[in-house]
Amino acid sequence: MTVIAWSEAFSVGNPLLDSDHRILFDLLIQLFDATDTGQSRDVIGSVLSALSEYTEHHFRREEAMLAATGFPEIEPHKAEHRRLEGQVRDIVSRYQAGERGALDEQVVELLKKWLTQHIQVTDKSYRPWVERVVDGGVNPPSVA
């Protein structure tokens, strides 16, 4: 499987959200490693559950920040989050039910593609809003 790595190209201009995204990258890499090295179902299931839980945690944090900044495209953004959450929950359920192929290479590549494209396209669209968030508060736009 193709490994992914965090780089500044994925930065959305907010240290907290960038940190969340790094954690999601790390969890996906752990999932790659666990499946590639033939780890036990328990190990893979644990990593998959952590990825699912952290994804939802991150989405709530991101959505709260976007709401606080007045990001105008928040509803379509949230809808995209709900779609991914549904996909990940489906993968977890299928894996836990013992379905072969629930975590095959195509599924893991789909997660990788979604994560990278979501950050580089959808999340980058909110950059001007979240760059203004400092220490939990929103600073007004700078006047030039």
DSSP string, 3-59: -----GGG--S-HHHHHHHHHHHHHHHHHHHHHHTT--HHHHHHHHHHHHHHHHHHH
Q: Which residues pair with 133 in a beta bridge?
A: 138
Q: Which residue has the tokens 């959450």?
A: 85
Q: What is the pLDDT of residues 96-138, one digit of tens each?
A: 998 877 888 778 788 888 888 889 999 999 999 998 776 556 6
Taking CA atoms, 59 is separated from 52, 68, 95, 100, in Å, by 11, 14, 23, 29
CB 62 within 8 A of CB 20: yes
Band the pLDDT of 144: cuts 50, 70, 90: very low
Q: Among candidates 140, 136, 143, 132, which has minimal Cα distance to 13? A: 132
